[in-house]
A and B are shown apart, each in its own frame.
Chain A
Amino acid sequence: MANVSGSSPYLGEVPKPAGVTAARKALDSGILKGVPVAVKDIIVTADGRKSTAASKMLEPYESPYDATVVRKIVEAGAEVIGKTNLDEFAMGASTENSALGKTVNPWDPTRVPGGSSGGSAAAVAERSAPVGLGTDTGGSVRQPAAFCGVVGMKPTYGRVSRYGLIAMASSLDQAGTLTTNVADAATALGVIAGPDPLDATSVDRPVPDYRKALTGDVKGLKIGIPKEYFEVEGGAKDGGVQSEIEEAVEQAKEDLKKSGAEIVDVSLPHTKYAVSVYYLVMPAEASSNLARYDGIRYGHSVEREGSWQGSLEDVYFQSRAQGFGPEVKRRIMLGTYALSAGYYDAYYKKAMQVRTLITRDFEKAFKDADLLLTPTTPTTAFKLGEKSDDPLAMYLADIFTVPASLAGLPAISVPAGFDKAGLPIGLQLIGQHWDEETVLRAAHAYEQRHDWHVKEPPKPKEPQ
């Protein structure tokens, strides 16, 4: 299902159209048996496919082991049908930072699919796979889900094993699902969730039957609207949230009220610091996590290229200079700086303190509300290349998704209609720690009032 433009949601081999009907039947009965799954290529697989993180650094790399989430879906009978494109090492919000492939938005091939899990979101949107696995560090499942008109679920930090997720920011990374509807998200999450002895940050809590949570009943549910999310600046070109997205939120409030939920105002006063905090904590951890790509044991290495001569330091410098793309280098530099002697207290430590305040904001808000409703993104999918040269503008695409990541909360993005250009809009529901059930229940009830989730993007023309 390659696009005419030479783009594809997948890296490497593009899968043949799968048996969609059988998969649909399995999913409708709440199982993954025989279901094709598109796996973001930052999740390692030992199936003979490469595990590249869309980086030149790992272009030739094959993992000797499966990530725990992969092992779990395979044990549940699912089939990994392909590895999907992403921003290199999950660093980006458009999938344009991939060093190994190009992926466009299935709704408009001149626009980005979002990122960093853009490949999995696009694969699910174009219906080449009913389920996609992604990773979400600051919004990397929810934001592309919103851009591509699908459901993106990021569970509580610690709910799903990170073993085999090529680490970007360890205290934020969490595997998530991309599906066409909320019920499938519940099914897929049920399979991948649960403690893992190989991940010390996974938490030993029973995994509920998420599908049972989808009762359609939200009567009495208190849904909080954090006012700060509607006061942000710089979200879109005109300095705010795109009007159609604000309208979608208003519409959703009405819908949920009609279903019996109560809408309450809440305040998350430290929201304005979230992106700054995120862009200190994340690069700091990333700079450390990416130190292992040193050209010594695996991956891109100038030393193994034969003609090379030089010192050990040259192996490091040149292998990394050649293997990493500009955004990765930018974050390594930011993070290294933030952790350096003399700067640690002012940057990393301070950021961690503010992170605690952001978490407390949510704890307070959840005294008045069971769930929070916000936009997923300030705008719908932007044009390819539109923000490529402006990293700050790209960072602000995460503005609504980052706070829940910093607090480790479960959050979902659900389709909420289309803007005037016909591009999908996504709404975000944020739940309390470990309460994926309420998130899924409300998202499902909202989804069932419309048919947006069954709308498919136009089919691309087959290549000649």
Chain B
Amino acid sequence: MSGATQYEAVIGLEIHVQLRTKSKMFCRCDNRADGAKPNELTCPVCLGLPGALPVPNRTAVEWALKVALALGCTIPDESKFDRKQYFYPDLPKGYQISQYDQPFGGPGTFEFDMVEDGKPGGKPVTKKIGITRLHLEEDAGKLTHPKGADYSLVDLNRSGTPLAEIVTEPDLRSPAEAKRFLQELRRLMRYLGVSDADMEKGHLRADANVSLRKPGEKKLGTKTELKNLNSFRFVEKGLASEIKRQTELLGKGEKIDQETRGFDEDRGKTVSQRGKEEAHDYRYFPEPDIPPLNPKELNLEKLEAETGMTPMSYRRLLYKDDNRYIASQELLDAAINSKEEMEAIVSATESYIGKPLDGLVKNADNQIRKIPILWLSYRQYPEFENRRNLERLKEFTLSIAPHVRVIRGPQAKVISKEWEKSNGSLGKIIDKFKSSMASGGDIEAAVDQAIKDNPKPAADFKAGNVNAKQVIVGAVMKATKGAADASEVAQLVEKKLS
């Protein structure tokens, strides 16, 4: 009996993103802790020494607002910090400065694309995920437990690193969707330049709330909280195994306990960490050391303008007419991962169509898509693998674009290789190539020869098998060493055989 189709998974995420500001959230200590000696980047404030006071980092506040805006959050008139109180050795003040009931970002909606069935060239489906809130807080220090030792070590370099916490509505329906959302979020953070968002390095950390319900039901089932899903792989595997566990329990008529669980990779399943009854009372109260602030006084228009194009808006440029991607999702993601590259694509497109792209992206026509399509194909050539060659890739794409009817993929590849080798003028290489192209007479002779050499496909075509002509076209292309326009060849073959 398969339980998998009996229930619908309901997933909400809580994500912490470390902001890569120069200094920490509430003091002037260096925030880039990578490579520093333990406790080297600390001061009275982030050590929680007597008498020290927090002063909020303006850049961190602005970046949190930028992220909130990009996630479609509403921005309140008044926001404040609160203290979240608990004892732990990595928390020097005995409380974390966080935000409780007046966060910087209120409810919003975030859209991202994914190919539903995951197949290349599949139709992208736009997912809308409710964002419950975004708030700003400080990170705690890092504890290490040396093997066999009866003590633990505390490193407070990370203490006070700004964290944006993003909470989603339970709008995600599968582990793949959750993973895709997180990947899109990582991309967004990198676009905004606010975080490296590297999950393996802990820049982006996710917890998930998971419950099951019968499809069509409105009411949510009892949820479990899955902690520390610290890689995309973990997100997918952890959620899948928790959904499987809950499905089996419900299948047996058992109840789900509301609890905190962790994913144990070795055992390939989730394990209970803390029951509901052990839940903390954090005794939140307004942080008296920091006056409330009005985010709208921080020039939101400027922050929004600085945000620019998001990964999602670039993605829209790359749909075909039937709302399919112009390339595989993987290829698209690879390009979209680099904001610099997307900016280069836009700039190449603008120079090709001779006008700015503003406002055109949502309804991009074939003319506008020509450059992005070519770009995505050329970017795979070994000569452009190094992404620092964006300028060369741009020159190449713009130079080939007027000749694509003649210079098809294989030829372009040859030209690219020659350009790289000779380091000469690309225009001259193209001219030389075009003049060496097989002339009309040569092609006709080659077609005749190919029909002669391939009697069976020729007969099949005549009998109505349209695809059979490809064999003949292929033979012609081979004979002319690619120096012919494949579509012209195909037309000629059809004419000869009709």
Enumerate chain A interface residues (CB-CB to B < 8 A): 43-44, 51, 53, 58, 61, 63-65, 67, 162-167, 169-171, 197-201, 284-285, 288, 290-292, 294, 296-298, 312, 316, 336, 339-341, 344, 348
* CB pair A292 B288 closer than 8 Å: no
Q: In residues 269-284 of chain B, which contact A (Cβ within 8 Å)?
A: 281, 283-284
Query: Distance in Å from the Cβ of B214 to the closest Cβ of chain A?
Result: 33
Please name all residues of chain B whose beta carbon is closer than 8 Å to the beta carbon of A171 when the two chains form the complex.
Answer: 288
Docked-complex contact A312 and B89, CB < 8 angstroms: yes
A200 adjacent to B51 (CB under 8 Å): no
B285 & A297 in contact (Cβ 8 Å cutoff): no
B291 adjacent to chain A (CB < 8 Å): yes
**Cβ of A288 and Cβ of B55 under 8 Å apart?**
no
Residue B83, interface by CB 8 Å? yes
B residues 3-25 with Cβ under 8 Å of A?
none
Q: Which of A61, A290, A294 has the largest number of chain B CB atoms within 10 A?
A: A294
With an 8 A cutoff between CB atoms, is B87 at the interface?
A: yes
- Cβ contacts under 8 Å, B92 to chain A: 292, 296-297
18 pairs from A and B in contact (CB 8 Å cutoff):
A43-B51, A44-B50, A58-B50, A166-B50, A169-B288, A170-B289, A201-B289, A201-B291, A285-B285, A288-B83, A290-B94, A291-B94, A292-B94, A294-B89, A296-B89, A297-B48, A339-B85, A344-B285
Counting from the closest, the 7 A-B pairs by CB-CB distance are A291-B94, A170-B288, A171-B288, A339-B283, A164-B51, A166-B50, A292-B48
Complex contacts, A197 vs chain B, CB 8 Å: 55
Q: How far is the CB of A319 from chain B (nearest CB, A)?
A: 11
Neighbouring A residues of B48 by C-beta, 8 Å: 292, 297
- Check if A199 sits within 8 Å of B94, measured CB to CB: no
Contact, CB under 8 Å: A288 / B285:
yes
Tell me which residues across on chain A come within 8 A of B83, comparing CB atoms: 288
Closest to B287 in A: A170
Using Cβ atoms and an 8 Å threshold, which residues of chain A touch B429? none
B residues near A164, Cβ cutoff 8 Å: 51-52
The total number of A-B Cβ pairs within 8 Å is 97
Contact in complex: B55, A341 (CB < 8 Å):
no
Known: A201-B53, A341-B281. 18 other contacts (CB 8 A): A51-B51, A61-B50, A63-B51, A65-B44, A163-B51, A166-B51, A167-B50, A167-B51, A170-B288, A200-B290, A201-B288, A285-B285, A285-B288, A288-B85, A292-B92, A298-B49, A312-B89, A341-B283
Given contacts A44-B51, A166-B50, A297-B47, contact A340 B288 (CB under 8 A): no
Chain A residue numbers with a CB within 8 Å of B51 are 43-44, 51, 63, 67, 163-167
In the complex, how many angstroms separate the beta carbon of A458 from the nearest chain B beta carbon? 36
Taking CB atoms, residues of chain A closer than 8 Å to B93 are 291-292
Q: Which residues of B contact A67 (CB under 8 A)?
A: 51
Sorting the interface of chain B by its residue count into under 10, 10 to 19, 20 to 34 or 35 or more gives 20 to 34
Do A284 and B285 contact each other (CB < 8 Å), given the known contacts A58-B50, A199-B55, A292-B48?
A: yes
B residues apposed to A, CB below 8 Å: 44, 47-56, 83, 85, 87, 89, 92-95, 154, 281, 283-285, 288-291
| Given A170-B288, A291-B95, A336 and B54 contact (CB-CB distance below 8 Å) | no
CA–CA, A53 and B87, complex, Å: 22
Residue of B nearest to A89 (CB): B50
A288 in complex: contacting residue of B56, B89, B94, CB < 8 Å: B94
Determine the chain A residues whose CB is within 8 A of the CB of B55 once the complex forms: 197-200
Chain A residues positioned under 8 Å from B290 (CB to CB): 200-201
Min C-beta distance of A166 to chain B, whole Å = 4
Q: How far is the CA of A292 from the CA of B283 in the complex (A)?
A: 15
Which of B44, B52, B87 is the one whose CB lies under 8 Å from A291? B87
Q: Closest CB-CB distance, A345 to chain B, in whole Å?
A: 11
| Inter-chain contact B49/A64, CB cutoff 8 Å | yes
CB distance from B58 to the nearest CB of A (A): 11
Q: What is the CA–CA distance of A284 and B85 in the complex, to the nearest angstrom?
A: 12
CA–CA, A339 and B285, complex, Å: 7
Determine the distance from Cα of A162 to Cα of B49 in the docked complex, in whole angstroms.
Answer: 14
Q: Nearest chain A CB to B17's CB is how many angstroms away?
A: 24
Distance in Å: Cβ of A318 to nearest Cβ of chain B:
13
B44's partner among A64, A165, A344 (CB-CB below 8 A) is A64
A336 to B282, CA, bound (A): 10
The answer on a CB contact under 8 Å between B291 and A294 is no
**Cα–Cα, bound, A58→B50 (Å):** 9
Once the chains are docked, how many angstroms separate the CA of A164 from the CA of B45?
10
Please, how many angstroms separate the alpha-carbon atoms of A201 and B293 in the complex? Answer: 12
Contact status A296-B154, CB under 8 Å: yes
Bound-complex Cα distance A298 to B42 (A): 15
Smallest CB separation, B156 vs chain A (Å): 9
Q: If A65-B44, A288-B95, A291-B95 touch, does A316 touch B87 (CB 8 Å cutoff)?
A: yes
How distant is the Cα of A47 from the Cα of B289 in the complex, in angstroms? 26
Complex: how many Å from CA A312 to CA B56?
Answer: 31
Looking at the assembled complex, report how far the CB atom of A263 sits from the nearest CB atom of chain B, in whole angstroms: 36
The CA-CA distance from A162 to B291 in the complex, in Å, is 14
Q: Are B94 and A294 in contact (CB under 8 A)?
A: yes
Q: Are B283 and A51 in contact (CB under 8 A)?
A: no
A167 to chain B: which residues have CB within 8 Å?
A: 50-51, 53, 289
A residues within 8 A CB of B47?
297
The CA of A72 and the CA of B494, in the complex, are separated in Å by: 94
Select the residue from B54, B87, B154 with max chain A CB neighbours within 10 A.
Answer: B87
> B141 → chain A, closest Cβ, in Å?
10
A298 to B47, CA, bound (A): 10
Q: Judging by beta carbons under 8 Å apart, are A292 and B50 in contact?
A: yes
Known: A291-B85, A292-B92, A312-B89. A163 touches B285 (CB 8 A): no
Q: How far is the CB of A100 from chain B (nearest CB, A)?
A: 15
Residues of chain A contacted by B283 (CB below 8 angstroms): 288, 336, 339-341, 344
Counting chain B CB atoms within 10 Å of each CB, which of A165, A284, A292 scores highest?
A292
